[in-house]
Amino acid sequence: MSSKHHITCVFEDGATSQFTSSSFETVYQAALRSGLTLETDCREGACGVCKAYLSDGDCDLGDFSDEALTEDEEEQGYVLSCQTRARSDLVLQFGYPMSLLNKEMVRIATRVAALEPVADNVVRLVLESDAEPLTFLPGQYVNLSVAGQVDGRSYSFANSPLRPGAMEFFVRLLDSGAMSDWLRDRATVGDEVHIEGPYGQFFLRAPRGGELLMVAGGTGLAPILSMLEKLRAVDAPPPVRVLYGANHPGELFGLERLRDYGDWVTVETAVVTGDEAWTGKVGFVTDLIAEQRLDDATLADAYLCGPPPMIDAARQALTGLGLSDSRIFAEKFLPSEK
């Protein structure tokens, strides 16, 4: 009896495609059946054009030549999609943009279901749609646009991908910007917002048995929350440490939600500038990394989301703790409003 497995293909431009595959068909065949024509040439495991990196999952590599897939590449985790058959759900990364395949991203119309302030200059935006629920990996983002008012702006999901329905985002309101001005001055419940996506190679990988260290700056907490929602659903979630920072205490949000996850999530916070009521750490969130003591750094994974200087400093500090750079996953948040 053939088993059905979910295949997620992530491309160089961050675009994602998902489909199911039986244990009898190759990834290429399953993709083709779903309407996605992956890059290939010989389809016999001889040319290597269909090569992809297996980011997560277990598979049968099939037959292939040494020229198409070397022994070193196999050890590093590369596979040939024209020969590979899934034994479990798979996540594959391809070294070319999805736009090369001339496949459109999913676009759906949504409406504002909730809009509320949660911190200084941060609002929680909830969108609902009558369309089919958007499938995404925890950590990924979509582009939001408002017809005639806001062109596409990128925001990460904060909700669980396991609960289809309402989509949750946390948006930092800039002093001036198309989306910020619309949300602050004109948006109301029921307004139409268009979504395109999902995008991004920043997503939760299968835990390897070690600790997960998650470092977030400001609204970089949003994709971390989505990851925690996914982990909450497993029988025995791995231990997670969340290091969360902001410029001022008033910019922090989601602290009660973080505490509600239970003992498997440990939270430490820091602000660059405190006030009279602040009793926590003062400094950069990356300063907290040096204070961590990991049981086994070779099994630990790290997820970083925030401004570029935070990402760069965090990556350097984590490698200093013994983490492999290949197990440090990052998403840089950049102001993009004009």
Overall average pLDDT of the 66-82 stretch: 91
**3-state class (DSSP) for residue 166:** coil
Q: Work out the widest C-alpha separation in the chain, in whole angstroms.
A: 68
Q: Rounded distance, CA 65 to CA 60, Å? A: 15
4-101 is a CATH 3.10.20.30 domain: yes
Split at pLDDT 50, 70, 90, the class of 335 is low
Model confidence, pTM? 0.81
Class of domain 212-332: alpha beta
pLDDT of residue 1: 53
Which DSSP symbol is given to 15?
A: B
For the chain, which residues make up each domain, given as ranges?
A: 4-101, 106-199, 212-332
* pLDDT tens, residue by residue, 158-178: 999 887 679 999 999 999 899
Q: Are 252 and 271 in contact (CB under 8 A)?
A: yes
* pLDDT tens, residue by residue, 11-56: 988 889 999 999 899 999 999 999 999 988 888 998 888 999 999 9
Residue type, 170: F
Percentage, residues of the chain above pLDDT 70: 96
pLDDT of residue 262: 93
Q: Is the per-residue pLDDT at 338 higher than 60?
A: no
Peptide bond into 133 cis (omega under 30): no
Of 111-125, 159-173, 185-199, the least confident: 159-173
Percentage, residues of the chain above pLDDT 90: 74
106-199 is a CATH 2.40.30.10 domain: yes
Q: Are 28 and 40 in contact (CB under 8 A)?
A: yes
Q: Is the per-residue pLDDT at 314 higher than 60?
A: yes
